[in-house]
């Protein structure tokens, strides 16, 4: 198991990738601390893990990462419960307001920045001293393909994640001497509850079936399929594990090849 007996914090627990990250970490033997703003989402994630017949220790801490004091509380409770933090997977995000740049409500951009950059950094900086003290750790940022391939109406979200990408590179440089690895996964389309719900809404509004929408998206992906969110989660788990102990500052594209770096 890739994370056997490691203590892993996963932020942004919710239907889709958040649940899959927690489930996969549990399947790989981790001791979990999970957070989301809504306690019911944490309960649902715990139930999913128990339904998989896993007896993983699970610490649930409702947390808004945009509030520094709540980040401090999460980390303090994790240390109190487990004594260390081996990995942090930053999955919490705010999508911002979807609109063309020329029509942008910059308050929506600020809201996205508060979570996607400042909140993520606040939680990360709470974890760093503990990782230094224990001799190392792994931090994984869940980023987005939107920073690679711009999509109309997602500029605010993309800008906040692009800022996080820059901060991540600086963190990797500065924390490397302490054996703390900092890497990113760049997610594209992921098949799971959020995308399924979106496509169902589109089907009702436009009359184009979910299957036809999926096929249209898949045509632009070299693997010709929208990746499952559970498969995307595995990439983040890999970067959190000792299998990636020689990797830091990496930007791993997890999108079926829809973006091909060169």
CA angle centred on 90, ends 190 and 230, rounded to 5°: 30
Q: What is the mean pLDDT of the chain?
A: 97
- Radius of gyration of the CA atoms of the chain, in A: 18
Q: How much is the pLDDT for 251?
A: 97
CA distance 192 to 181: 29
Burial class of residue 106 in the structure, from the number of CB atoms within 10 Å of its CB (0-12 exposed, 13-18 middle, 19+ buried): exposed
Quick one: CA dihedral 218, 221, 224, 227, positive or negative? negative
Mean pLDDT lowest among 63-67, 150-154, 167-171, 244-248: 150-154
pLDDT in tens, 131-147: 999 999 999 999 999 99
Q: How much is the pLDDT for 239?
A: 98
Please compute the mean of the pLDDT values over residues 21-35 and round it to a whole number. Answer: 98
Q: How much is the pLDDT for 178?
A: 98
Q: How much is the pLDDT for 261?
A: 82
Q: What phi and psi values does residue 31 have, to the nearest 5 degrees? A: -95, 130
Please compute the mean of the pLDDT values over residues 218-231 and round it to a whole number. Answer: 97
Per-residue confidence band for 170, with pLDDT thresholds at 50, 70 and 90: very high
Is residue 98's pLDDT more than 80? Answer: yes
Q: How much is the pLDDT for 133?
A: 98
pLDDT in tens, 171-195: 999 999 999 999 999 999 999 999 9
List Cβ neighbours of 230 (8 Å cut-off, separation of 6 or more): 20, 23, 24, 192
Q: How much is the pLDDT for 9?
A: 98
Is residue 262's pLDDT more than 80? Answer: no
At 113, list the tokens.
């920045």
The secondary element (H helix, E strand) that includes residue 118 is none
Beta-bridge mates of residue 4: none
Please compute the mean of the pLDDT values over residues 237-245 and round it to a whole number. Answer: 98
Domains in the chain, CATH or no CATH each? 7-190+230-249 (3.40.50.720), 191-226 (no CATH)
Please compute the mean of the pLDDT values over residues 19-33 and round it to a whole number. Answer: 98
Per-residue confidence band for 97, with pLDDT thresholds at 50, 70 and 90: confident
How are strands ordered across the β-sheet holding 251-254? 58-60, 31-34, 7-10, 87-90, 137-144, 180-187, 251-254
Per-residue confidence band for 130, with pLDDT thresholds at 50, 70 and 90: very high
* Helices 120-134/155-175 angle, 10° precision: 20
What percent of the chain has a predicted confidence (pLDDT) above 70? 100
Q: How much is the pLDDT for 21?
A: 98
């Amino acid at each position: 198991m890739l994370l056997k007996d490691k203590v892993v914090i996963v932020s942004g627990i919710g239907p889709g990738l958040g649940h899959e990250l927690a489930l996969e970490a549990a399947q790989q033997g981790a001791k979990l601390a999970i957070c989301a703003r809504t306690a019911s989402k944490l309960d649902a994630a715990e139930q999913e893990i128990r339904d998989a017949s896993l007896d993983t220790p699970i610490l649930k801490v409702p947390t808004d990462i945009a509030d520094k004091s709540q980040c401090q509380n999460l980390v303090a409770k994790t240390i109190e419960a487990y004594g260390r933090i081996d990995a942090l997977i930053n999955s919490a995000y705010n999508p911002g307001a979807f609109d063309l740049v020329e029509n942008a409500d910059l308050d929506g951009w600020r809201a996205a920045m508060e979570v996607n950059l400042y909140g993520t950094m606040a939680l990360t900086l709470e974890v760093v001293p503990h990782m230094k003290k224990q001799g190392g750790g792994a931090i994984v940022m869940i980023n987005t393909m939107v920073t690679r391939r711009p999509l109309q109406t997602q500029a605010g979200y993309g800008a906040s994640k692009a800022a996080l990408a820059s901060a991540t590179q600086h963190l990797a440089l500065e924390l490397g001497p302490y054996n703390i690895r900092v890497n990113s996964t760049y997610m594209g389309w992921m098949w799971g509850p959020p995308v399924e719900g979106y496509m169902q809404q589109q089907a009702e509004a436009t009359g184009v079936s979910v299957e036809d929408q999926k096929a249209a998206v898949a045509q632009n992906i070299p693997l010709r399929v929208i990746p499952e969110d559970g498969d995307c989660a595995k990439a983040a788990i890999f970067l959190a594990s000792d299998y990636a102990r020689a990797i830091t500052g990496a930007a791993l594209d997890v999108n079926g090849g829809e973006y091909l770096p060169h």
